[in-house]
Structure 1
Amino acid sequence: MREFHFIKEKYGFELLMDLHKFEDNSNVFFEPDPHITNFFEIFVFEQGNGSIELNGHYLDVGSYTLFFTSPYQKKSCRIDRNSVRGFHLVFQNDFLTNFFEDKLFVYRLQYFYNALYPQYLQISPREYQLIQTLFDEIVAEIQNFQKDSLHLIRPLLYFALSKLNRLYSKVYKLSHETHSESNIYRFKEALEIHIRRHHAVGDYCRLLNMTRHQLNQVTKAYFGRTSKDVIQFRLLQEVQMELRYTNHTISEIAHDLQFSDPNNLTRFFTRLSGQSPRAYRLNYQNDRYL
């Protein structure tokens, strides 16, 4: 599978983020085949036609739609380049952690690393105009980069990301607080790092030095679900990605994801998705080729 890497010195100096307008970038390219990146992306479409497949969801691109992708999430894009207008923001995790001096900031944003809700948002024309104004200023600073440009980019980007977090949280009825309960962000981080090895609530309690009651309290407040639900949804997502984007057998997937045997994986997958792993893979392949 093709992997795209972030270019740190694209402009002749190190900058761990980039922002450009689709219509001003002659090299804009939407990869139709499944691929991954080693950076975060936010696609902001003022207008466009096509679809993006992300985390097993086929999502339509239209006016005032946004898509949020995290590093190493598998996606494919089928978008008409000639009709697209909007912005493409990319950055590496180090950029946000160093930029805002908060290593958990990216985990505080609801639209990244969210196993329960689509990483998709549709906003109003008025809301888009606000984001457009902020992004236009950032683009101008990058194109005319000066010694104090980062001091101007920092508050603009922080405001934009936080505003989008509020809008996303409102649509999906989630908490938009980015500085309240640090334990939930530590849990999200641990989930991304350890999900292929650890599947039990007790594993994460030990990793986070929390009791089951404490962990359930924060996940219910943040996701409206128990910690077991969140872990299982995230693990289901990992199995789905293996079935979609690899040729690994069920036995190989079970081994890679630390299931005790293939039958346990099959029972787990069937219970949560309503179909067997083989049926899921077959349905996806048929839909894909159609």
Structure 2
Amino acid sequence: MQFVTAHGANIPALGFGVFRMSDAEVERVVPAALDAGFRHFDTAQIYNNEAALGRALQAAGVKRDDLFLTTKVWVENYSDASFAASVRDSLDRLKVDQVDLLLLHWPGDSVPVADQVAMLNEVRAAGQTRLIGVSNYNSSQLKQAISRANAPIVTNQIELHPYLDQSAMIATARETGTAITAYYGMADGRVPQDALLQDIGARYGKTAAQVGLRWLIQQGFVALSKTANPGRVAENAAIFDFTLADQDMAAISALASPNGRIVSPEGLAPDWAA
């Protein structure tokens, strides 16, 4: 298994995300993901499928120490009255005493970053998570979170795919030693249909989707893959037996544009340029 290391923490480079999956889909696909070698699973309170993931992993009988579990606190729980209780509920649903990584899901526009991080510090001190991080923070928010955290912010989970220029955030992450975790790596279905990626893949005997994931991994990012189809899981995992040439990496990166963002919900998303 390949890892991304940040501040001494080892995060499996390829994760399996369950965003927009029903309970039935999660319980059907997780066994296939485990069979394909996935051990890093990513969910969130707002996905409403933590319990299904917990059931599926428990039923599979995989040792807890062999898993890397990530979940995210939803913005409506950013209060002293709700934050810790919501994390305890997440642990109960996942059937674990501690997650490996707990993230603040979005910065939102109502609770200051300093207050969000203070609550994150408390649940980590209580032993409810091993590692802490953020998601969808801009560069200035990431730096503020780092300054306020009592333990390293090991990752910022962000939208990242060939069509979005994230060079500014990547530079900030590298400057601060923070890992980047990439979500929406398939750009909501655009990557598998991309003619350039298909052509590149044909030269390696790989699909466009595998090329897209490899492009992320090869830059040193954690990549979250996702499929509700058990038959496609093994394809997503088979990205460690080839290396994209420098010219192919550059060609894929050249697809990026500043307006390539897909996910930017009002009231949750920050000023991305800050």
Return the TM-score normalized by structure 2: 0.30
Return the TM-score normalized by structure 1: 0.29
If asked which structure has higher relative contact order (CA below 8 Å, sep 6+), I would say: 2
- Greater helix content: 1
Q: Which has the larger radius of gyration?
A: 1
